[in-house]
Amino acid sequence: MIRRLPFVVAVIALALSIDFVHAQEPDARQIAQERAQAELDAPKLVAVLGLQPGMTVADIGSGGGAMTVVLGRWIGTGHVFATDITEHALRLTREYAKKEGLSNVTVIEGGAATTNLPAECCDAVFLRHVYHHISAIDAFNKSVFASLKPGGRLAIIDFVPEKGSALPNGVPANRGGHGVPPGVIIEEMVAAGFTHVRTIDAWPPGEKRPPGFLTLFQK
């Protein structure tokens, strides 16, 4: 009985891990909501980044892949790189792009200190609600800078932390909670070599209660 205990424990652990994975799978309603939001937001992002069909753009922190897919359809003969640090998100994005029949999407596993994007591969790069989780700030920002072509644009979409909210693990205390002030982003990106172009205080524009802001930079 004692000899079989490790096997039983392993089976239970496996079952729990499978249940956890399935619990994280987005349902049809969530997928539809994310796609609808991406369809609304993509044209605004395209305008800010100055994207044109045929260009190359990177979605750093692609999540479920809705924005990657929408931009993949819009960019036409161009290309979309999608990065994330979790295998779950990478799989979702790959499957989404395949389902949509997109051959112009490349999914890349990113790291805490690097995008893993090719050097000067992109005309534009954007991060949506990702930057406030970055812990290896200097190295990561230099990696983003290296991935852009000269003159390329970077958009960081994020939100100001609520007072008293908890810091994500490993990030600097200057965030002030769960989120990041735009001034902190500007300071860190300028240190990485970027030029600050402008900040849009309410993003996405046009919504009654925009959840965040957008800071725009150029290499």
Domain boundaries, the chain: 28-218
* CATH node for 28-218: 3.40.50.150
> What pLDDT was estimated at residue 31?
87
Residue type, 27: D
- pTM (2 d.p.): 0.87
Separation between Cα atoms, residue 67 and residue 30, nearest integer Å: 14
Read off the pLDDT of residues 54-83 as tens digits, 9 standing for 90 and up.
Answer: 999 999 999 999 999 999 999 999 999 999
Tokens matching residue 14: 């496996």
Q: Write the secondary structure of 189-218 as one string of H (helix), E (strand) and C (coil).
A: HHHCCCEEEEEEEEECCCCCCCCEEEEEEE
Q: Is the pLDDT of residue 99 over 50?
A: yes
Count the Cβ atoms, other than its own, within 10 Å of residue 13.
10
Residue 65 identity (one-letter amino acid)? G
Task: Report the first-to-last Cα separation within the chain, whole angstroms.
Answer: 65
